[in-house]
Structure 1
Amino acid sequence: MTAFRRRLRDDRGAASTQLVLVVPVLLLLAMLVVQFALVWHARHIAQYAAQRALAAARAKGGTAADGRAQAGQSLAALGSQILTAPSVAVDRTTTQTTVRVHGAVMAVVPGLHLHASGTASGPTERLTTPGGERP
């Protein structure tokens, strides 16, 4: 009877079972860390593209099309694989210019679809007189 009791208390195989249960959880956690680092990076890419587009669109003689073109160039240079399917919206009025860049972030974790965006806004450049009126 003592051999049978020793066999019931035996821990052989416990490490393998623990390894099979713990490793997938650790891999998922590592993938989540990488995924959220990519989201953080994609937000910076979107913000950079929005700022570059704002500089082009708000300049005197600039247009909304100039801003969209500049954002497209910036996104192509930096984030074509990180920030996928980007959209650029440029709103230019006589006093204010706003640029919004939005896109999906490359997925590392299957089934997790995250988005990143950046916005830049500033006054539209125009000539004024010292009193603040337009010439």
Structure 2
Amino acid sequence: MIARMRHRRRPIAAGLRSDRGFASVEFATLAVVVLALIFTALQVGLYYHARKVAQSAARQGVEAGRAFGATPDDGVRQADDFLSRFGNSVRDAQVSSAGSTPEQIRITVTGHVATLVPGLELDVTQFADGPVERWTTP
């Protein structure tokens, strides 16, 4: 009977030995997936941060350009100043007042988002507009 029990244990032990090292493979596969998720989350965060910086620069430009006696060029200068102070996340930023009229000012900020993946190019374009302040008589 003891010989029979030894015979039964051998196939079980042999089956356990064939899975040896499988945990390392599982960990390596899972680590790649987790790192991909982390980098994706970081990249999404960088994109939305760059959008908010570009939007803030456009709003700053509109506020400066819509003041009484100001010109659209004043708005462009203010947006450029804002980007030079806070716009590290928007690379190669360009500010334009195209689309502005004597009654309405429009500031557009375009640029590239800083990326974690080499070769990945993400662009951001944000604009703001508002009425130009002027004197009117009743």
Q: Distance in 2 between matches of 1:110 and 1:29?
A: 17
1:69 matches 2:84: no
Alpha-carbon shift at residue 30 of structure 1 (Å): 0.1
**Does residue 30 of structure 1 match 2:38?**
yes
Structure number having the greater helix percentage = 2
Query: CA RMSD for the aligned pairs?
Result: 1.8
Cα deviation 1:60-117 (Å, max 9, x = unaligned):
221222111111110111122x111111111331111111111111001333322223
Structure 1 gap segments, 5+ residues each:
131-135
Computing the radius of gyration from Cα coordinates, the structure with the larger value is 2
- Distance of 1:20 and 1:27 partners within structure 2: 11
The alignment status of 1:85 with 2:92, answered yes or no, reads yes
Q: Within 1, Cα distance between the matches of 2:50 and 2:84?
A: 13
Deviations 1:109-133 (A, max 9, x none): 3333222232111111222111xxx
1-structure distance, mates of 2:74, 2:106: 13
Deviations 1:3-60 (A, max 9, x none): 4663344321011011111111111110110110111111110111000000111222
* Equivalent-residue separation in structure 2 for 1:108 and 1:31 (angstroms): 7
1:46 matches 2:60: no
Distance 1:35 1:3 in 2: 52
Q: How many aligned positions are there? A: 129
Return the TM-score normalized by structure 2: 0.83
> TM-score of the superposition, structure 1-length normalised?
0.85
Percent of matched pairs sharing the same residue: 36
Which residues of structure 2 form unaligned runs of 5+? Answer: 1-6
Matches for 1:53-132 after TM superposition, within 5 Å: 53-80=61-88, 82-91=89-98, 92-130=100-138
Q: 1:59 & 1:86 partners in 2: Cα distance?
A: 24
